[in-house]
Copies of this chain bind each other. A is one copy, B any other.
Amino acid sequence: MGGVYVVGVGLTKVGKHVNDSFRDLAVEALLAAIEDAGGEKPDAIVVGNMLSSLVEQENLAALIADHAGLRGISGFKAEGACGSGGAAFLAGYSLIASGLFRRVVVVGIEKLHERPTPDTARGLAYAADADYELIYGVSFAGLNALVMRYYMNKHGVSRDEMSAWAVMMHDNAYENPYAQLRKKITLEIANNSPVIADPIRLYDSCPLSDGAAALYLVPEDLKWVNDTPVEVVGIGNALDSPDLSSRFELDRFIAARLSAERAFKMAGVSVKDIDVAEIHDAYSIVAAISIEEIGFAERGKAPKMWAEGRFRPGDKPVLNPSGGLKARGHPVGATGVYQIGEVVMQLRGDFPGVKVGGEVGLAQNVGGIGSNVTTIVLRR
| A residues neighboring B (CB under 8 Å) | 1, 21, 23, 44, 50-51, 53-63, 65-66, 70-81, 83-84, 87-88, 90-91, 93-100, 122, 125-131, 134, 235-243, 246, 254-255, 258, 367-368, 371-372
What are 19 of the A-B contact pairs (CB < 8 Å)? A1-B99, A53-B54, A56-B125, A56-B130, A56-B134, A59-B80, A59-B242, A61-B87, A62-B241, A71-B254, A72-B238, A72-B254, A76-B78, A76-B79, A76-B83, A76-B237, A91-B94, A93-B100, A97-B99
Find out whether the CB atom of B240 lies under 8 angstroms from the CB atom of A62: yes
Q: Are A100 and B94 in contact (CB under 8 A)?
A: yes
Q: Determine whether the beta carbon of B77 is less than 8 Å from that of A79.
A: yes
| CB proximity of A367 to chain B, nearest CB, Å | 6
3 shortest interchain CB distances as A-B pairs: A53-B53, A76-B87, A97-B98
Given A76-B80, A77-B79: A56 and B122 within 8 A (CB)? yes
CB distance from A266 to the nearest CB of B (A): 8
Task: Name A76's closest neighbour in chain B (CB-CB).
Answer: B87
| Nearest residue, chain B, Cβ from A246 | B66
Q: A58, A84, A87, A246: which has the most chain B beta carbons within 10 Å?
A: A58
| Chain B residue with Cβ nearest A258 | B72
Q: Are A59 and B241 in contact (CB under 8 A)?
A: no
Partner of A61 from B59, B63, B97, B372 at Cβ < 8 Å: B372
Query: CB-CB < 8 A to A254: which residues of B?
Result: 71-72
A98 cross-chain contacts in B, Cβ below 8 A: 1, 93-94, 96-98
A240-B78 contact in complex given A91-B91, A94-B95, A99-B1, C-beta closer than 8 Å: no
B residues near A238, Cβ cutoff 8 Å: 72-74
**A72 to B240, Cβ gap below 8 A?**
yes
CB-CB under 8 A from A88, the residues of chain B are 76
Q: Is the CB of B53 within 8 A of A126?
A: yes
CB–CB B74/A77 < 8 A? no
Residues of the B chain whose Cβ atoms lie less than 8 Å from the Cβ of A63: 129, 242
Q: Is the CB of A58 within 8 A of B76?
A: no
Shortest beta-carbon distance, A240 to chain B, in Å?
5
A150 to B367 Cα, complex, angstroms: 45
Q: How far is the CA of A134 from the CA of B52 in the complex (A)?
A: 14
Could you say which residues of chain B place their CB within 8 Å of the CB of A97?
A: 94, 97-100
Beyond A56-B125, A66-B243, A72-B239, 7 additional pairs, beta carbon < 8 A: A1-B98, A1-B99, A59-B371, A66-B240, A78-B78, A97-B98, A100-B235
Task: Tell me if A81 and B58 are in contact (CB < 8 A).
Answer: yes
Minimum CB distance partner of A50 in chain B: B58
Most chain B CB within 10 A, of A66, A79, A129, A241, is at: A79
Given the interface pairs A59-B80, A59-B372, A242-B63, the reply to whether A255 lies near B72 with Cβ below 8 Å is yes
The distance from the CB of A128 to the nearest CB of chain B, in whole angstroms, is: 8
Which residues from chain B contact A75 at a C-beta distance below 8 Å? 80, 237, 239, 372
How long is the Cα–Cα vector from A56 to B128 in the complex, in angstroms?
9
Return the chain B residue nearest A122 by Cβ.
B56
Q: Which residues of B contact A93 (CB under 8 A)?
A: 98, 100
| Bound form: Cα–Cα A50–B61 in Å | 13
Closest Cβ–Cβ distance, residue A41 to chain B (whole Å): 13
Q: Determine if B130 and A65 form an interchain contact, defined as CB atoms under 8 angstroms apart.
A: no
Hey, which chain B residues are within 8 Å of A78, CB to CB? Answer: 76-79, 91
* B91 and A76 contacting across the interface, CB-CB below 8 Å: yes
Residue of B nearest to A370 (CB): B62
